Structure 1
Amino acid sequence: MSNPAPDAKASRKSLATLFFCTAMPMGMWSVPLSNVFNAHGRGHLVPWVFATTATAAFISPLFVGAMADQKHSPVLLLRWLTAATSLTLLLTSAALAWAWSDAAVLICAQALALVALPAWSVTSSIVFSQLHDAKAQFGPLRAWATGGWMVGCWVVSFVLRADASLLAAVTAAGLWLVVMALTWKLPMIPPGEVVQHRTWKQILGLDALGLLVHRDHRVVFLTAALYCIPLAAFYPYTSRQLHDLGVENISAVMSLGQTTEVLVMLILANVMARFRLKWVFFSGIAICVVRFSLNALNSLPAVMLGTFMHGFAYTLYFITTQIYLEERIDPKWRVRAQALLAMLMSGVGNLLGYLGGGWWYDACTTVVDVPWPWWCPPSLTVKITDWPRFWWGEVGLTAVVCVFFAVAYRGRPRTQ
């Protein structure tokens, strides 16, 4: 089949399908990951596995930048990345199923993160390149990605019954191959302008550090990194708490957060038109304080309500941050500003959040010996987590971030 013309435009339907199918396997593996590792006796590796995505945020720009220097189309790049993601996900599943060493499992997980993380950013760049009016068209298309994540969670819980099974990972690996197949339906987009002699700072987006001289830019970037530290506790530990509360369809319950995410994306433009940007930012962090407080109550209705509020807590800050960069940053710096934001969030913030959260979880978990009758073997060892203590710690950390932003961010009058 011949390649389409370079100036061809993909239909809205094909772009929505690409977003939907890319997010679906991401949700199918990311949400049940914690319980899958627990079921295979590797629960102690969960913080480190999640941290692989953070370390990949430092390395992947080099990986993708090297390919971009060779002037490859982003469509070809996505095709290779999705194939590699499918392969490394199967390899990680095999490492768990065949009881490989902890080091081998983490190596496989790190390889998966290195190729899966840039796949999403490349998908977004392809969609952006096909839009005539990105501000008006991107939001509804991005909502299809959230829908794909939700459907992936529902399939895991209601169809596969695999909330703690590697069947979720194997199915997700197959869906990554579906995304690879979709790339043949996209126009062969030419690569963007490539600088022939880029420095390491340019590849990593670190030359955008000059943007931090501006006070509000500095506060927005720094708050994003700090906010990611407590927010990193959502997927690894909410799923464990739901398991302890006796929930079976954990992935489906976790998808409640995406329902509000879609809602907020659809109304965000109206919200930003009515309120100052500062209060949109602030409300996202403040809602997260309330959400974690509900988790601290450690009852199923409260945890489900807190999960439902995730979409508000995430979208009102992070999607608004992307819009902030689009509107307040000089166009020639926007790409590098987005790269710096991704590094601070996915790299610095998530790394501290996953590792720090793992330490705090261990501190809130005790090992209890459950005695058996005298005619049975020795006592059974059970781990019990003090969930109220764990989540109140996250509440305190989020509240500090909220106060910091409220005091430090100035903004500009609505008349501007």
Structure 2
Amino acid sequence: MKTTTQIQLSLMMFLEFFIWGGWFVTMGIYLPNTLKTSGGEIAMAYSTQSWGAIIAPFIIGLIADRFFNAERILGILHLIGAFLMYQMANTTDFGAFYPYVLGYMIAYMPTLALVNSVSFNQMNDPAKQFSFVRVFGTIGWIVAGLVISYIFHWDSEEGVANGLLKNTFLMTAIASAVLGVFSFTLPKTPPKVSKDQKISVSDILGLDALKLLKDRNFLFFFLASILICIPLAFYYQHAGQFLGEIGVANPAAKMTIGQASEVIFMLLLPFFFKKFGFKKTLLVGMLAWTLRYLLFAYGNAGELAFMLITGIALHGICYDFFFVSGQIYTDSKAGEKFKSAAQGLITLATYGLGMLIGFYVAGKITDSNIISEGQHDWNSIWVFPAIFAAVVMLLFAVFFKNENVEYKE
């Protein structure tokens, strides 16, 4: 791969995740403080990610894979996203905000697959080359949080009080427009299949991989993947709101510690996989979810702030040890015939169904623990996902029988 191509792909990844990190974390602070939303309404806003994940395969399978170059669709979707993000910044109530965020996530979620397609199409050895490109996406997410907290101070107590968090949407709109235009300069990535080739809904959603559920072990893993997304949704939806509400300074920047740890534990994953095996690696990931929420439940913005930072830093273990390990396990169980279908099914089950349930539950739990206007009983809120993750971990430990899974870099 040419150096210029690697630079192009790295910049594409940087902007792709700078955009997501530039508004998704702080939306949980923006909505209750600026638009005065309830926990249920915050859940509706965050669940648009799940609806986007459910609809994305149709956009990829019916359009991107058959009719147009991936880089062109990527550009069009980000230009549409720039417009919708600008509209989100200028809404004054949740009723007007919701249609725009729903439209935005329907446009954005397919781009996650498109940037991978554009990257893989230029690589002769993706196993070695992709990580050096993808890491710039994590860097982009981290930079977005640092810019919000340390350069513009939009998430400071004063910034939130003055409604400055709306600027995160404007910043994202600009970045989306830049990536939209830049996408048309990316290397050509033509459609994968002929427009005349028949493709079914089953193919698009990966439903052929349902046959794997006949395997008892894979069935328990599949169910655990859906269930663990319920505590995951609490983190995505309410961690930023929680940190801001209890007075933690620069919450957007603090949240980037989670992305930094993701990079570190991604590098450590092969070691854990080889030394402890798949089942123990997944159990460590589930245990980390329980520990994280207990740290959130009993930490504070004062002397016990280190507990909150530790909880955020556990994100690398929580995500990598469960979800990345799960992708490797799915790949090993599927075989050549069902590889793509199986990954599509797991993505649909987790980011689609699991997170949709999780966002709803998180909103209900949060609304049921309001102390006064703008104040919540966060101890009770965080104890729920802690116990839930512990129960899932115990059930998985009992019912999943250990098996050898080869780690492929």
The answer on 1:36 being equivalent to 2:41 is no
1:294 counterpart = 2:285: no
Instruction: Identify the residue that residue 81 of structure 1 maps to in structure 2.
Output: 77
In terms of Rg, which structure is larger? 1
Deviations 1:123-181 (A, max 9, x none): 12222232222333333432221111011110111112222411111001111122223
The 1:384/1:343 distance shift into structure 2, 3 A limit, reads same
Structure-1 separation of matches of 2:184 and 2:257? 33
Secondary structure of the residue that 2:184 maps to in structure 1? helix
Counterpart of 1:257?
258
Unaligned runs of 5+ in 2: none
Overall identity of the aligned pairs, in % = 26
Q: What is the alpha-carbon distance in structure 1 between the residues aligned to residue 37 and residue 254 of structure 2?
A: 21
**Conservation of the 8 A alpha-carbon contact between 2:66 and 2:191:** no
Partner residue in 2 for 1:93: 89
Q: How far off is 1:59 after superposition?
A: 2.0
Secondary structure of 1:366 counterpart: strand
Q: How many residues align?
A: 392
Describe the superposition over 1:50-73 as per-residue Cα deviations: whole angstroms up to 9, x where unpaired.
011112222222233221364211
Question: Counterpart amino acid of 1:236?
Answer: Q
Alignment partner for residue 6 of structure 2, among 2, 6, 12?
Answer: 12
Matched, 1:387 2:392: no
Alignment of 1:74-223 (within 5 A): 74-95=70-91, 99-100=92-93, 102-163=94-155, 164=160, 165-194=165-194, 196-223=197-224
The counterpart of 1:366, out of the listed 363, 371, 389, is 371
Q: SS of 1:412's equivalent?
A: coil
Match of 1:232 in 2: 233
User: Residue deviations 1:277-297, cap 9 Å, x none?
Assistant: 111111111111111110010
Secondary structure at the aligned position of 2:371 is classed as: strand
Structure 1 CA distance for aligned equivalents of residues 184 and 58 of structure 2: 26
Q: Secondary structure at the match of 2:403?
A: coil
- Contact preservation (8 Å) 1:295, 1:388: yes
Q: TM-score, normalised by structure 2?
A: 0.90
Q: Match of 2:222, as an amino acid? A: F
State the 1:9 CA deviation.
9.6
**CA distance in structure 1 between the aligned counterparts of 2:336 and 2:11, rounded to whole angstroms:** 29
Q: In structure 2, give the amino acid aligned to 1:63.
A: I
User: Quick one: distance in 2 between partners of 1:215 and 1:139?
Assistant: 32
Residue aligned with 1:189, SS: coil
In the TM superposition, residue 13 of structure 1 has moved relative to its aligned partner by 2.8
Separation in 2 of the partners of 1:415 and 1:121? 25
List aligned pairs for 1:269-288, cutoff 5 A. Answer: 269-288=270-289
Paired with 1:131 and 1:327, the residues of 2 have a C-alpha distance of 22
Partner-residue secondary structure (3-state), 2:90: helix
CA distance in 2, matches of 1:415, 1:65: 30
Please give the TM-score of this superposition, normalised by the length of structure 1: 0.88
8 Å CA contact 2:148, 2:252 repeated in 1: yes
**Aligned equivalents of 1:341, 1:15: Cα separation in 2:** 26
Q: Distance in 2 between matches of 1:90 and 1:360?
A: 31
SS, match of residue 267 in structure 2: helix
2:19 to 25, 33, 44: 25
Residue 317 in structure 1 maps to residue 322 in structure 2? yes
Check conservation: 1:53, 1:113, Cα contact below 8 A: yes
| Residue ranges of structure 1 left out of the alignment (5+ in a row) | 1-6, 368-381
CA–CA distance in structure 1, aligned partners of residues 33 and 406 of structure 2: 56
Measured at CA, do residues 88 and 415 of structure 1 come closer, stay the same or move farther in structure 2, by a change above 3 Å? closer
| TM-superposed deviation, 1:8 | 8.9
Change in 2 beyond 3 A, CA 1:415/1:222: closer
Counterpart amino acid of residue 170 in structure 1: L
Distance in 2, Cα, partners of 1:408 & 1:77: 44
Is the 8 Å Cα contact of residues 34 and 43 (structure 1) preserved in structure 2?
Answer: no
